[in-house]
Amino acid sequence: MSSESLLQTIGITKPGPVHWNRGTAALYEEAIKRGEGVIAEGGPLVCQTGIHTGRSPNDKFLVQEPSSQDNVWWGTVNRPIDVEQFRALKETTLASLKGKELFVQDCFAGADPSYRLPVRIITECAWHSLFARTMFLPLPADTEPSQHVPEFTVIDVPSVEADPAVHGTNSGVFIVVDFSQRLVLIGGTSYAGEIKKSIFTVMNYLLPLRDVFPMHCSANIGEKGDAALFFGLSGTGKTTLSSVPNRRLIGDDEHGWSNRGVFNFEGGCYAKMIQLSPEAEPQIYATTRRFGTVLENVVINPATHALDLDDASLTENTRGAYPISFIDNSVPSGQGGHPETIVMLTADAFGVMPPVAKLTPAAAMYHFMSGYTAKVAGTEKGITEPKATFSTCFGAPFMVWHPNVYARQLGERIAKHKSRVWLINTGWTGGGYGIGRRISIEHTRAIVDAALSGALDGVTFERDEVFNVDVPIQCPNVPSEILRPRSTWSHAADYDAQAGTLAGMFTKNFKMFESEADVEVVGAGPR
């Protein structure tokens, strides 16, 4: 079947020139020629995404159709759009592609051959095609397009906008998934992360049907083959703490846990670049000086093309996409065994949660369903003081089933494989944001090292009665007073008041899950 016929099968007719599975150098050339980006000092391609510098969660929809509608947890995250609205939106999108130059990437999501999803990414931007080629797993060399049978297709057309009155959207931006047609439509936004996260959403729906647990986490593996998972929302240190010289990186963001172990969904990494430090994050920092890295909204000197990673004038959410092979000690197969250690990261800006606590399986499920962190001033417009954020499963925008489905998958695997689970706070101590100080990266790394090595297994623990967790009284290379956050505050009564307030926030948030959660899980939360 010809390339043109392959596009006709999904309704794309009479396009302009089609660039199929172009390599990195060729896509660089096309992006520069089309004015989509510039080459910075050291070789990365730097592109800007315009007014949309992050995901648009209020513009993401799932088609409400018979094959999937009974499985979806409908609500503010999974918004429905009806079949006719999607049909009209698809017609509008496909019509816009007539005579238009297109870029196609055939690739896979999922490093484990037993569970990988063949995908086809069709874009109007060369740099979006390079992003897709970087983030997903490539086809074997010399594979013909006709040999690749995609089970999901993404059509990404930033120049097309929806009409809310016709298409049922909130704005001109749309990210819409139809599980029956196995199709994703993206328009009105140039933020490349929408491509990556739309396929993650698809994997989060399909894999539980095959008894595979999809996870928004990073993963690495030690010298003895001991795998570890790191859950955490943006800003908690998930990428930084998993990309370390003494452990090999399986992946930095999206994984599955099957009956054989964990596997990466991707072939690339997508890291925040703002204020990246060569001292604290040497491996990630090095990728910003390499040909093949795609940087989004990073400011460069117009004369020298030198990068300024500290400049947030375009957005705090500066991003870099790079092949995982750029990390020297990455795992080429993207696979590992069953995790011996699970780390759940939070950045508590209220300064009251312990830097490290051991979680029971029930408590692990509770904190997994809660997905807590805190945003601080400067991270979002209008935030002037710490704000509690709860994102279920540490990735609410991408979870399709009810959170309890994923939590039970986690609980079953923890019990079966006897994984140790730790809650680690990378946030504040000695007071909340603006009063206390951020827990140092050196102390956090020491805590993580102790958790992974088993050094915490034999120490004495004390019960934190407010947060209902067990806290070690000592940890190698960490001052003991830091482990008890109450002792770091100037006034214990202030700590007690703030800790009680945050515990109440946990309880209030968990109300939405109580009817589906097990009694032991409900009782494992803060008091």
Active site residues: 55, 197, 216, 234, 238-239, 253, 319
d(CA 106, CA 165): 34
d(CA 326, CA 287): 7
Q: Which two tokens stand for residue 298?
A: 């990073």
Based on the number of CB atoms within 10 Å of its own CB, is 107 exposed (0-12), middle (13-18) or buried (19 or more)? buried
Ordered DSSP codes for 38-50: EEPTTS-EEE--T
Ordered DSSP codes for 408-474: HHHHHHHHHHT-EEEEEE-SEESSSTTTSEEPPHHHHHHHHHHHHHTTTTTS-EEEETTTTEEEES-
Q: Give 8's DSSP letter.
A: H
d(CA 372, CA 399): 16
d(CA 404, CA 320): 33
Q: Which two tokens stand for residue 518?
A: 């097990």
Residue 406: which of 180, 217, 183, 153 has the closest Cα?
A: 217
**Can you tell me whether residue 174 is helix, strand or coil?**
strand
d(CA 468, CA 251): 31
d(CA 393, CA 409): 11
Q: Which two tokens stand for residue 311?
A: 């400049």
Q: Are 440 and 429 in contact (CB under 8 A)?
A: no
Q: Are 462 and 469 in contact (CB under 8 A)?
A: no
Bridge partners of residue 463, in order along the sequence: 470
Q: Are 379 and 394 in contact (CB under 8 A)?
A: no
Strands (E), 92-204: 102-109, 117-123, 137-138, 152-157, 174-178, 183-187
Q: Are 183 and 212 in contact (CB under 8 A)?
A: no
d(CA 282, CA 205): 35
Residue 428: which of 383, 363, 482, 465 has the closest Cα?
A: 482
**Can you tell me whether residue 228 is helix, strand or coil?**
strand
Q: Are 463 and 353 in contact (CB under 8 A)?
A: no
Q: Which residue has 């800003």 as its token pair?
A: 235
Q: Which two tokens stand for residue 442?
A: 């050196």
Q: Which residue has 């703030």 as its token pair?
A: 498
**Can you tell me whether residue 372 is helix, strand or coil?**
strand
Based on the number of CB atoms within 10 Å of its own CB, is 400 exposed (0-12), middle (13-18) or buried (19 or more)? buried
